[in-house]
Structure 1
Amino acid sequence: MDRRSLLRVTALGAGAVALPFTGWSAAYAVARSGAGPYGPLCAADSHGIRLPEGFTSSVVARSGRRVTGTSYRWHDAPDGGATFPDGDGWIYVSNSEVPAPGRGGASMIRFGADGRVTAARRILAGTTGNCAGGGTPWRTWLSCEEIDRGKVFETYPRGGAAVARPAMGRFRHEAAAADPVRRVVYLTEDEPDGRFYRFVPHRWPDLAAGRLEVLCGGPGTSGAFTWKRVPDPGGTPVRTRHQVAAAKVFHGGEGCYYAGDIVWFTTKGDGRIWQVDLKAGRYRLTYDDNLAGAGPPPLTGVDNLTGSAGGDLYVAEDGGSMEICLVTPAGRVSPFLRVTGQDSSELCGVAFSPRGDRLYFSSQRGPAGVLTDGITYCVRGPFRG
C-alpha cells in the first residue's frame, strides 16, 4: 500500500482496561505523531534494522536454512506468529504463507531459559497460504488459511498432530484471537467486503463444534453492535460473509488481538485499526491513515499486531516504510523499528516472549523479495512493562 498523506488516531477505550492495556483515554483525540517513548531510531545495524538506542536485533532463522543448533530447515514465507511458555523456556510459532496448494503450514522454535534455541520442527504441513492465526490460553496455535473457503487448523507446538476445525468457518481467514472470559474466538476475514466473526464452542475449549457468528452494526465508524449466527459456516454455495444481511463490512481484515475486554483488529484495505469494546457492546475506529490531520502518517499498510505489558500496541506494516509502529495509550503513533533494504517484503509475526523482554517478527520475503528469502528476527531491549 502506498503511503498516504493524512493521519488521525482516536484515543482508545472507555476508562481503564485490564492488563496488558491500561489507561486509554475515554475521549476521541487527534494523535500527535512524533518521537515515541524510546526516542528516535538510530542508524541501521548489521542486519539493516533501525532501532531506538538500547535495543539490539539478531537473526533467529532464515528460510531454507537450518535453524541454529538444529537440523530443521526454516519454512518459506514466514508470516503470523505467537509465543507460549514451555517449562523454563518458551516457544515461538510461525506460519508459512506459501500460496501453492499443500505447500504452506507452520513451524515452531523452542528457546531455553537463556534464549538459546533448543529445538525446531514442523507442526503443520499440507495446507495452503497459512497467513496469520492466533494463540490460545491452552497453548495451541490456530493456523489460518488465507484462501477461498480456507480452514482453521489447531496445532500443538509442544507435540501432537494438527487438527482441522471447519466449524470455525470456511472463508479467507486471516487472524484469530481467543477470549477466555466469554469463551469465544474472534476471526478476521481478508476480503474487500470481509466480515468480523466470533466462534462460540459448544464446550470450551473444544473447538471441534460450535456456533459461528458475525458482527452486525451500522455503516458508520462507531456504534452499537450485535452478533448473529451464520447459517452455513461451510460457505457453500453462499459465502459466509454474504449470509447475514446486517453483517458489518470491513475492508480486508488482518491482525487481531484481545486484551482486557477489548479486541483490536486491523483492516489493510483502508488503513484502519478498529476497537470492539465487549463490555460496552460498542465498536469504534481507533486509527485511520486517511483522515484529516497534519503531515504524512507514520503507519500505513496495517497488518499483524500485538500488545505489550506496558500498554502499547505494536503494528507491523505490509509495505509502507517497512516499519513496526507503536501506538501508545495516549494515542501517540511512532515507528519502533524500520527494516532497510527490503522494500519488496512485508513485516509480520510480531509477538513478545512470555517475559516481555524480546520481540519476535519476520520479514516475509527478505532482501530478495521472494518467498524463499524470509527472515525471522528477535529484538531485545528495555521494553517498558
Structure 2
Amino acid sequence: MRQLSKTTRRSFLKKSGIATVGFMGLYQFVQPNAFAGAAHAKAGYGALLPDPAGILNLPKGFSYKVISKIGQKMSDGLLTPGNPDGMGTFKGENSRVLIVRNHEISPDDLEKGAFGKDNELFKNISADLLYETGKGQLPGLGGTTTLVYNPKTQEVEDEFLSLAGTVRNCAGGITPWNSWLTCEESTVTPGSYDGRLDLNHGYVFEVNAAADKKLNKAIPIKEMGRFNHEAVAVDPKTSIVYLTEDRGDGLFYRFIPNEPGKLYNGGKLQALAITGENSRDTRNWSDLEVPKFQKNHPYKVTWIDLEDIDAPDDDLRHRGFEQGAACFARGEGIWFGDGELFFACTNGGEISAGQVFRYTPGAHEGKADESAAPGTLELFAEPNDKEILKSCDNVAIAPWGDLLLCEDDKHPFVVGITPKGEYYKLAENVGFRTEFAGGVFSPDGSTYFVNIQGAGLTLAITGPWGQRA
C-alpha cells in the first residue's frame, strides 16, 4: 500500500443518485474461502480468489452473475449490441434498477450492432428517431440500451434500445433530473465511411431514464461542443456540466447551462486554465521539458470562454490551449462526489500509466464573481507503478467512500482507492483480453455493475460492500 495524500480528505460520499453506469444466469459463482494473499489486499477486501469458471477473480464472500451478453434478443426484438461501455443507474419502480448503458460501436462494425450483421432489423424501428441513418445503409450503431434489473432475482426483466444513430458512445454521466448524458468519442464528418455518413459527429446526447421500452429521439446538444467526448459529471448544486476529452492533448471543459436542467436551451462552453503557475501541461510525461504538475497541491484555476465550438476542423483543444487552457493526457471517466469531482487521465504520469485529478468548484462557481474564490485542481493520484494502477478509465465513487477505477488494459483490474489514499484490487478479468468498462453501483449500493467490453458482457457483482479490512 502507498499513501496517496497527507492532506485531509473530503468525503467521497455522493449526495444523490449513483452512476458511472440472453446469457441470463449462465454463471453465478461464489468464491471459495482459501487463497494466498495478494499485494495491497489489506486495504481492501482481501486476496482475489481464482474463479473456476475462468472469468472474474473476486475476494472471499463476493459473487458475480453475467446479466447481459452481446447478440441476445432484447425485449424490443433487436439484438443486444456489443462493446458495452459507460453506464448509469437509476431507481426504478418496485425496487427495480434502471441501467442505461453505452455502446462504443463504429458504423461499419455491423456484427456488434443491434440490427444484425446485415442491418436486417433496421427496418423495424422508426428511422426518424435516429441521429445518423447513413443513407439507410450505415446507420450509427452506437447509442444506448436500457436494462430493467431486479436485484432480488438478479435478472434483467427488460432490455431495449434507448438511443441510436450515434457513433462510438464511450462514457457519459447521470444528471440530477433523472437522465443519462451519453458522449460520442468520435469526430467523423459527412462523407466518412465511403461517403455513407451524412452528419458531423462528436456530440453529447440526452437519454431519459425510463422503463417504457421507447427509443429516445437522438438530438445532439451542440452547445456542449464538438470534440472527442469521453464522459461528463453534473454538479447537483449548480447544474454545471464538466466534460473530459479523450485525446493525448485534450482539455478539461465545463458547460454552464442557460437554464438549470434544460441543456438544450443552450449555455456557455469553457476550458480550464491554471492561474499563475509555470506549467499548464498536467501530463507529467518524462520527455516533456516543462515543470511537473505537483501531487497534492491545489492549483487555483480560471475558465476560458471558447468560440466556434462546433469545430469543423476538430481543433477546439488546440485553439483552447493557445488561449491558455491546461492540457491533459486522455481525460476519461469522471464522477461528482460531495462538493468535488474526480476524473482519470488514462496515460498521464511519468510512465504514462495514469493519473487521477480532483477538482473542487469555487464558492461562486460559474458566476461573475467566481474569481474571488476560484476552484482548485489537484493531482490526486499518480502512482507510476503498473502493479498498483495502469490505464485508469471509468471512475465511480462507492457509497462508503472509496474511488473505484476500471483499467483499460488486456489484463485489467478494478482498482479501489480508499479515502486514506490506499490502493487495493477489487476484481481481475482473467477470462478475456479486454478492458473493464462502465463500473457503477446500484442506487442502494448493493450491486456493482461492470462490463467486460470486448466480450460484450455485463456483470452484476454482490458481496460485503463497505466491510474493508
For Structure 1 versus Structure 2, the TM-score category normalised by the shorter chain is 0.7 to 0.9
Distance in 2 (alpha carbons) for counterparts of 1:47 and 1:199: 43
**Distance change (3 Å), C-alpha of 1:153 and 1:296:** closer
Larger Rg: 2
Query: 1:108 is aligned with what amino acid?
Result: T
Q: CA deviation at 1:12?
A: 7.9
| Cα distance in structure 2, aligned partners of 1:274 and 1:285 | 5
Bigger shift: residues 112-121 or 265-274: 112-121
Letter in structure 2 aligned against 1:65 = Q
Cα offset, 1:296, TM superposition: 5.0
Are 1:200 and 1:210, in contact at CA under 8 Å, matched by a contact in 2? yes
Q: Which amino acid aligns with 1:329?
A: P
Structure with higher helix content: 2
1:206-230 deviation line (CA, Å, top 9, x unaligned): 1110000111014234411111211
Give the TM-score of the pair, scaled to structure 2. 0.72
1-structure distance, mates of 2:414, 2:393: 10
> Which residue matches 1:177?
233
Sequence identity of aligned pairs in percent?
Answer: 31
Question: Does structure 1 retain, via aligned residues, the 8 Å contact 2:40–2:425?
Answer: no
Q: Which residue of 2 aligns with 1:105?
A: 143
Say which SS state the counterpart of residue 121 (structure 1) adopts.
Answer: strand
2: CA distance, partners of 1:296 / 1:96: 27
CA contact (8 A) 2:173 2:233 kept: yes
Deviation at 1:78, TM superposition (A): 0.6
Aligned partner letter, 1:106: T
Q: Which amino acid aligns with 1:215?
A: L
The normalised TM-score by structure 1 is 0.87
SS of 1:242's equivalent in the other structure is: helix
Instruction: Identify the match of residue 358 of structure 2 among 246, 253, 275.
Output: 275
Q: Would the aligned equivalents of 1:19 and 1:259 in 2 still touch at CA under 8 Å?
A: yes
Displacement of 1:82 in angstroms is 1.0
Q: Is the CA contact 2:247–2:329 (under 8 Å) kept in the aligned structure 1?
A: yes
Deviations 1:211-250 (CA, angstroms, capped at 9, x unpaired): 0011101423441111121122212346221233210000
Residue 127 (1) aligns with residue 166 (2): yes
The structural deviation recorded for 1:321 is 3.1
Contact 1:47 1:58 in 2 (8 A): no
Residues 362 and 376, structure 1, Cα contact 8 Å, conserved in 2: yes
Q: 1:364 to 1:51 in 2, by over 3 A?
A: same
- CA-to-aligned-CA distance 1:306-327 (integer Å, 9 cap, x gap): 0111100110011063111111
Aligned to 2:459: 377
Deviations 1:62-119 (A, max 9, x none): 111135x885521111111110111221111111101226121110101236243221
CA contact (8 A) 2:12 2:403 kept: no
Measure the CA separation in 2 of the matches of 1:238 and 1:99: 18
1:232 pairs, out of 294, 302, 308, with 308
1:309 aligns to what SS in structure 2? Answer: coil
| Structure-1 residue corresponding to 2:340 | 262
Quote the offset at 1:161 in angstroms.
2.8
1:136 to 2:175 alignment: yes
Distance in 1, matches of 2:401 and 2:413, equals 19
How many correspondences in the alignment? 356
Q: Which SS does the other structure have where 1:243 is aligned?
A: helix
Superposed CA RMSD in Å reads 2.2
Residue 56 of structure 2 corresponds to residue 17 of structure 1: no
What secondary structure does 1:214 align onto?
strand
Q: For the structure 1 residues 70 and 56, does the alpha-carbon distance in structure 2 shift closer, same or farther, using more than 3 Å as the test?
A: farther
User: Which whole-Å CA distance do the structure 2 matches of 1:299 and 1:33 have between them?
Assistant: 11
How far did residue 16 of structure 1 move? Answer: 3.5
Unpaired stretches in structure 2, ≥5 consecutive residues: 16-38, 109-139, 188-200, 280-292, 349-353, 363-373
